[in-house]
Structure 1
Amino acid sequence: MRFGVLLLITAAQIFVATTCIVLGDAAGKALTASGFDPFFVAWTRFACAAIALAPFCGLSRDSLPVLLDRRVILRAALIAAGICSILTALSTTPLPDVFGAFFIGPVVAFVLSALLLGERINTARALLLALGFGGVMLVVKPGFGLTPGIGFALLAGLLYGCFLVATRWLSGTVRPRLLLFSQLSIGAVLLTPLGLAATVPALTPNAILLMTGSAAGSAIGNFLIVWVSRTTPASIVAPLIYTQLISATALGLILFNDWPDTLTLVGLVVILTSGLGSLWLARSVH
């Protein structure tokens, strides 16, 4: 009973976190629709989030060697490239379609974790991920519905899967909050040349508000996930990330009047079912 209550609390926290992230991406989509380059939007997101979260990340003199570690830099480069890819996808493609294709990431992470980190393959987990992959294919529609936007969403998912593996690789050696700050600060540095080179429309009050919202949504969402992950097993947190599809579909409809077609909607339901199945599997273990 106690575990069930804790699970509900965790689910609510993760849903708020993923909704914040989707709101940040929605603001980014609105910016790109206004003529802002995806690289500039990504750069401002990383830079603003790094500045906002720096006081909460427990930085000290010992942090500098970590920030210069090549493995940490590689991890930050993966997420920076992933954010640029998803913002590029969002500039032409509806929110739910992008997030549906993006969820190729957990499949990539599962396979690479087994190959590179030697993690044990769980048959039930593998079957659920295969189900999720089938859902992604319904969203992507390879061969007859694949668009450049969906292609960038798949690339974002691939990069995110690699990022998850890099996070597991470093999880035992770097504090979670420092890992979060490293991806934001290093990402901002790596994207600075591209951000400065981008053509920027007039910075109207609305554009500044959207930039702030994009950075704040991403920063708050990721910070909440890190905060919850301190005391909650990854086997519980990871499946709950799939609730992002609910937020993406709802906000896509409310903000942009983007309603997925029938095949895409079926694919999103299949992906969400895969995530809920993974949660059930983790709950049965506990």
Structure 2
Amino acid sequence: MPDDQTSPPYAASAVVANAPPPVLPVGPSGRPDRTGLGIVLMCLTCVIFAGQDAFSRMLGADYPPLLIVMIRYWVFALFVIAMVARQPGGLRRAIRTRRPKTQFLRGAILVIETTIMIEAFIRLGLVATHAIFTAYPLLVAALSGPILGERVGWRRWAAIGVGFIGILLILQPGNTDLNLGSVLAFVCALLFAVYGLLTRHVSRDDPAQVSFFWTGTAGAITVTVLGIGQWEWLAPAAWIWMGLLCVFGILSHWLLIRAYELAEASALQPFAYTQLVWVSVIGVLVFGEVLQPNVVIGAAIVVAAGLFTLWRARQNAR
């Protein structure tokens, strides 16, 4: 993956996914090195993302995933509008984009990915879903050639191949029936990779402020069209969980933006993988999931391959 600030970090949280690029990046020149604080904020963000996934799984057991995503996106869109309105140029600048169709497509893809992710949590569990989802940086590297015309060298192709061996180790297609949740988790990784590539594509013409605005608003419009027919009132207890989910979502996005203001993306992205650790802890302690040896080993292989592709991209950028 390239060393740019529009590349979304690893995160599978239902509005991870909405992990925005920084709205007002701050360079290190002329200021004390604050990379350490940025890394701390990234790790804290990953803890909150893991909590969001737990809330999503709890709510998804009783309510349609589209309903959950729709309510979250309504809150997220308000957050985006309020935040962008405070930036130079305000909403009038944020609406103007040179690629409206691509920007809207990004928002729609993210809504679909977020909805499918919740379904995967229910069918497969948090741990296994995230273990498969970690393949997304490898998919970004593999698809950057045909979609963006970027050159992928043999070293990164080798890392991609090794990463997919790890995915096969997780899935064990020859030993067990392929769970639909596994397919959905891989589809999520593929969709999020496409979303990331489209984000890089529009960043050539639109600033981060514009992409952030379109992510929230286009997503809210799309999910409302798809999910309004499934509207139902949540039970009082469920509204508490939904409220916490929305609060966690706003807090995580604010922390993520602050992290990218304090440190370069290349320094933060490796620490985004800590979300997999926290998700595993929550999955085991809260939901009684079991850490299967093939999942642990396979996830370690995929993460190592992903980190190598990040390192190679950084070397090429230099």
Q: TM-score range by the shorter chain?
A: 0.7 to 0.9
1:114 pairs with 2:145: yes
Partner in structure 1 of residue 16 of structure 2:
none
Any conservation in 2 of the 1:46–1:184 contact (CA below 8 Å)?
yes
Aligned equivalents of 2:295, 2:58: Cα separation in 1: 22
User: C-alpha root-mean-square deviation of aligned residues, in Å?
Assistant: 2.8
Instruction: Give yes or no for contact 1:85–1:156 (8 Å, CA) kept in 2.
Output: yes
Amino acid paired to 2:45:
A
Give aligned-pair identity as a percent: 22
1:26 to 38, 51, 54: 54
Could you tell me whether the CA contact under 8 Å between 1:239 and 1:278 is conserved in 2? Answer: no
Q: Aligned partners of 2:41 and 2:315: how far apart in 1?
A: 21
Note closer, same or farther for the CA distance 1:177–1:207 as it changes in structure 2 (3 Å cut). Answer: farther
Contact 2:96 2:210 in 1 (8 A): no
Q: Deviations over 1:6-43 (max 9, x none)?
A: 5544432222222222221211100011x100011111
Once the two structures are superposed, the pairs formed by residues 198-217 of structure 1 within 5 Å of their partners are 198=230, 200=232, 203-217=234-248
**Which of 165, 171, 183 is the aligned partner of 1:134?**
165
Structure 2 counterpart of 1:26, one-letter code: A
Separation (CA, whole Å) in 2 of partners of 1:280 and 1:62 = 35
- Give the TM-score normalised by structure 1: 0.86
CA distance in 2, matches of 1:108, 1:277: 13
Structural mapping, 1:1-286, within 5 Å:
8-33=36-61, 35-57=62-84, 58=87, 59-66=90-97, 69-143=100-174, 144-198=176-230, 200=232, 203-230=234-261, 232-278=263-309
Which structure has greater helix proportion? 1
1:224–1:210: structure 2 CA closer, same or farther, 3 Å change rule? same
Partner of residue 17, structure 2: none
Distance 1:18 1:44, change over 3 A: same
Alignment-mate amino acid for residue 133 of structure 2 = F
| Native 8 Å contact 1:98 1:153 kept in 2 | yes
Separation of aligned partners in 2, 1:107 and 1:167: 16
What secondary structure does 2:124 align onto? coil
Deviations 1:176-198 (A, max 9, x none): 24322321221111111332211
Q: Which moved more, 1:223-232 or 1:50-59?
A: 223-232
Runs of 4+ in 1 over 6 A off after TM superposition: 282-286
**Alpha-carbon distance in 1 for matches of 2:256, 2:163:** 22
CA displacement at 1:110 relative to structure 2: 1.0
